[in-house]
Amino acid sequence: MFSIFKEHKGFGKQIFLLAKDELIKTYKGAVIGPLWAFVKPAFTIFVYWFAFSVGIKALRAINVDLGGTEPASFDFFTFMFVGIIPWFFIQDSIIQGARALRNNRQFITKVKFPVSTILTYTALSRLFVHLLLIVAMYVYVVLKVGVSWYNLQFFLYCPLMFIFFVALSWSTSPMSAFSKDFENLIVSVMSGIFWLSGIMYDSYGFDEPLRTVMMVNPINFFVNGYRNCFLYNRPFYANKTELAIFIVEFVVIFVLGIINYNRLRKKLPDVL
């Protein structure tokens, strides 16, 4: 752990500059450049709005049991909008995080550069886009639902989400560098992960034991967390079981990431 942190020391400015360059490189050659990072999720949100709010009338309202006498009710688009915003960051972080070392092999094979910082600035470039989408979402939420002190919990969930998926890339990116098949596997399962996560539906709404099983998916923790912030007005510790499961998963991912990174990083120059 300390060796990874040590690699970041003195590279703060470079990480931010490389994160910006990573974002520019992703959309190089496009007429509107980095604005595609906003256009793509905006189009996806429009498609889901049309399909579920206009096309499927039965799904206009989502009722969520928040422990009160009556379940809270939200129109489907608002419910989906708040849940899908973290998903865009999560999806890009998982896929781009797995590809980061292979896509930036020149930093590993040609120059002496701290390898772990590549994973950090790749995720940071995705975070820039995420914050832009958050601003758009928050304006909508304020107009639709209003302002709440619980909105401040965003500053807990967002950094935690960033750290979690950077730590995940400590394992997935070296493994993808060793095996292209592993990278292809990650890309292939992302669509299934989307539908297994509570983005388009309320994961709290299942009966036991499926309700607890859904909490094992860490993506649900962040999706529900964003809804706690902006819709449910609930503290992050409201569901202690979900919080406890996530803490265990966070520690496991962090420790495995450190082990895998330190085990594989010295072999990366030869592999790439």
Q: What is the DSSP string of 172-209?
A: HHHHHHH-HHHHHHHHHHHHHHHHHTTTSS-GGGSPTT
In the numeric block, the tokens 């070392």 are attached to 101
- Higher-confidence position of 218 and 113: 218
Residues contacting residue 209 through CB under 8 Å, at least 6 positions apart: none
Residue 150 pLDDT exceeds 80: yes
* Number of CB atoms found within 10 A of residue 259's CB: 12
Residue 55: band (very low, low, confident or very high) from pLDDT cuts 50, 70, 90: very low
Token pair 């095996």 is found at 179
Query: Dihedral angle at the C-alpha atoms of 247, 3, 18, 176, nearest 10 degrees?
Result: -70
Mean pLDDT of the 112-120 span: 83
Q: What percent of the chain has pLDDT over 70?
A: 87
Burial class of residue 260, CB neighbours in 10 A (0-12, 13-18, 19+): middle
pLDDT at 261 over 60: yes
pLDDT class for 28, splitting at 50, 70, 90?
Answer: low
Q: What is the pLDDT of residue 138?
A: 95
Higher pLDDT, 240 or 60: 240
Q: What is the mean pLDDT of residues 189-200?
A: 83
The dihedral through the CA atoms of 31, 34, 38, 43 has a sign that is positive
pLDDT at 54: 52
Of the candidates 122, 101, 109, the residue with the CA atom closest to the CA atom of residue 177: 101
Structure-model confidence comparison of residues 109 and 136, the more confident one: 136
pLDDT grade for 162, boundaries at 50, 70 and 90: very high
Predicted confidence (pLDDT) at residue 35 exceeds the cutoff of 70: no
| 120 against 10, higher pLDDT | 120
pLDDT of amino acid 187: 79
> What confidence category does residue 198 fall into, taking pLDDT thresholds of 50, 70 and 90?
confident
φ, ψ at 13 (rounded to 5°): -65, -45
| Separation CA 170–CA 259 (nearest Å) | 9
| 152 vs 1, more confident | 152
Confidence of residue 194 (pLDDT cuts 50, 70, 90): confident
What is the pLDDT at residue 255? 94
Sign of CA dihedral 216, 219, 222, 223: negative
- Averaged confidence pLDDT in the chain: 83
**Does position 58 have pLDDT exceeding 50, yes or no?**
no
How confident is the model over 25-35, as a mean pLDDT?
A: 60
C-alpha dihedral, 14 to 254 to 172 to 23, nearest 10°: -30
135 pLDDT exceeds 90? yes
Residue 257 has pLDDT above 80, yes or no: yes
